[in-house]
Amino acid sequence: MSDRAARPTAHEVLAAVLQIRDGTLQVLAWRRAQPPDAGRWALPGGLLGDDEDVEASVRRQLAEKVDVREISHVEQLAVFSAPHRVPGARRIATAFLGLVPSDADPVVPADTTWHPVDAVPDPAFDHVEIVRAARDRLRAKLSYTNLGFALAPRKFTISMLREHYAAALGHPVSATNLQRVLARRAVLVPTGELVAPGPAGGRPAALFRFAERTLRVTDAFAVLRPPGRPPGEHARAALP
């Protein structure tokens, strides 16, 4: 193996935790009190410990900011490794995407709050790039997986779900089409319950839930499926 590394290098993990709040896709960030980048907003995370892998590390470090039981999905996002992405000693970052359902309201420390993903004020280091990558990964996966389960409450009307998809995707979504395509692919199932109409009247609306709460591809080409396996199963384990 070649060996050109001489500069001291540390490894950190960072998490872009996203939630739909007030109809907007938002990201959890904390305000740095110390230099470098004091006063700027940073993603939760920190140095990898000697005795942990990156998955254990991100869980440990997120637990310092938020009740991790409220996080419905975590996945590796990408490595950010530009040589001077932080001042001083080099840091390689493994970034994660985390999602919180909209009916959770996690208790967070005084230095930590939520910002719209497209309007993080004074972001620290390259963290705005990580937020964008997380947003784009979420948008892509909403279009070919059942990942909506990780943003939505346990039960929802189609109208509520449409608002979640529109907020995450950043553009309007048709409720009729959403119900048709997600029901046809067996992503959504009716709970059998109805909710009363709002003050404006109208008919009671049916409540739905996601059929599964682990990630799967919702429309893997059926012809590429191994004989006898259900849709999505064969693609599930390999999703990044």
List binders of a copy of itself among 11-40 (CB under 8 A).
Answer: 11-12
169 is written with which tokens?
């995707």
Selected binder of a copy of itself within 35, 192, 201, 226 (CB under 8 A)? 226
Choose the stretch contacting a copy of itself; rule: CB under 8 A; options: 17-25, 79-87, 106-114, 151-159. 79-87
Indicate whether 230 belongs to the interface with a copy of itself (CB under 8 A): no
By rule CB under 8 A, what count of residues binds a copy of itself? 71
Backbone phi and psi for residue 185, each to the nearest 5 degrees, phi listed first: -90, 10
Selected binder of a copy of itself within 111, 121, 143, 189 (CB under 8 A)? 143
Selected binder of a copy of itself within 38, 63, 81, 193 (CB under 8 A)? 81
Indicate whether 64 belongs to the interface with a copy of itself (CB under 8 A): yes
183 is written with which tokens?
């029901």
What are the start-end ranges of the E strands in the chain?
9-21, 24-31, 41-42, 45-47, 73-80, 90-100, 112-116, 188-195, 205-210
Considering only residues 144-163, where is the footprint of a copy of itself by CB under 8 A? Answer: 144
Considering only residues 110-139, where is the footprint of a copy of itself by CB under 8 A? Answer: 133, 136-137, 139
